Structure 1
Amino acid sequence: MNHSMRLSMFNDFSHLRILAVAETRFASVIIMLRRFKQIKNALQSMVISEKWSCYREDDVGKARYVKEKILDDLWWDNVDYILDFTDSIYDMLREADTDKSCLHLIYEMWDSMLAKVKEIIYRHERKSHEEDSNFWSVVYTILEDRWSKSNTTLYCLAHSLNPRYIHIHLLN
């Protein structure tokens, strides 16, 4: 974004633009990775083009590193994996950050999000749910710490007043 020649070169290969998302924005890293996936082919075309040699002469080491990453299938697999397990987190936060009434659904959304994230991580690691996953433990700790900071008695009250659960309790 800060190099006009290289940005111009990129623009020759893509109709989409590279986003300039502020780090303070909600889920800015996820937003950037999603855009990277959308412009993957354009980035790959750019680094194998003749125009890339102009950039390469500017900083050979940096140009080689960028080209290696953009052409590396394993790197893109890691991007896919990050997006896979963060999509549920991102979606839950987006859902909760709306003006529609969803306070009574926060606990359900939270539980569902945790289950989806765990499933994706365990599937990626090819582990059964009875096995331990160090990565899941780290992710779960981060999510649980965040939940502890934002969980309020208001969520609990809204959840307990949800007609779906009141109906169930009255039947029993």
Structure 2
Amino acid sequence: MNHNMRLSIFTKVTPLRLLSVANTRFASIIVMLKRLKLIKRGLQDMVISEEWSSYRLDDTEKANSVKEYILNDDWWDKVTYILSFTRPIYEMIRACDTDKPCLHFVYEMWDSMIEKVKIEIYKKEKCPASQISCFYDVVHHILVA
């Protein structure tokens, strides 16, 4: 957003816009990752464009690093995974982020959220629910705390 030339190239390849998310809002990183997934194709088109190739001369190291991430399927898989197991957490926080009384919903939503997080983590790790997942244990401990 703060680099006019890159922003100009980006606006030529996609109708969607980047977001400026305030760090003070909850889950700002999740909001940004969701937006990155939405604009993935535009970002990829941008870094393979002729304009990007000519622009990168200003700072070749950074431009190559950005291009490497944007075109890396493993990196996008990690973004997808992060979004998949944080989605239930995000949805619960969103549901509770209201001025209306909602404490009576929290207990029911809590169990559902924990189960959905577990399912996503175990699916990624390709292990049965009876097996112990160190990552899930860490996430569960954080959620309980």
Match of 2:125 in 1: 125
State the alpha-carbon separation in 2 of the partners of residues 54 and 37 from structure 1: 26
Q: For each residue in 1:55-91, what CA deviation from the matched residue of structure 2 results, as whole angstroms up to 9, or x when unmatched? A: 3101111111111111111111111100000000000
Q: For each residue in 1:90-133, what CA deviation from the matched residue of structure 2 results, as whole angstroms up to 9, or x when unmatched? A: 00010111244422111110111000001110011011111111
State the alpha-carbon separation in 2 of the partners of residues 127 and 23 from structure 1: 35
4+ residue stretches of structure 1 with deviation over 6 A?
none
Residue 22 of structure 2 aligns to which amino acid in structure 1? A
Aligned Cα root-mean-square deviation (Å): 1.0
State the alpha-carbon separation in 1 of the partners of residues 84 and 133 from structure 2: 17
Aligned residues: 145
- 1:51 counterpart SS class: helix
Match of 2:51 in 1: 51
Q: For each residue in 1:21-55, what CA deviation from the matched residue of structure 2 results, as whole angstroms up to 9, or x when unmatched? A: 11121110000000001100000000000000133
TM-score (norm 2): 0.96
Residue 92 of structure 2 aligns to which amino acid in structure 1? M
Match of 2:4 in 1: 4
State the alpha-carbon separation in 1 of the partners of residues 98 and 113 from structure 2: 17
Q: For each residue in 1:144-164, what CA deviation from the matched residue of structure 2 results, as whole angstroms up to 9, or x when unmatched? A: 11xxxxxxxxxxxxxxxxxxx
> What is the aligned-residue identity percentage?
59
State the alpha-carbon separation in 2 of the partners of residues 142 and 101 from structure 1: 25
State the alpha-carbon separation in 1 of the partners of residues 105 and 44 from structure 2: 42
What are the equivalent positions in structure 2 for 1:77-156 lying under 5 Å apart?
A: 77-145=77-145
Residue 46 of structure 2 aligns to which amino acid in structure 1? M
Structure 2 unaligned runs (5+)?
none
Q: Whose Rg is larger?
A: 1
Structure 1 unaligned runs (5+)?
146-172
State the alpha-carbon separation in 2 of the partners of residues 21 and 97 from structure 1: 17
Asked if 1:16 is matched to 2:16, the reply is yes
Residue 74 of structure 1 aligns to which amino acid in structure 2? D
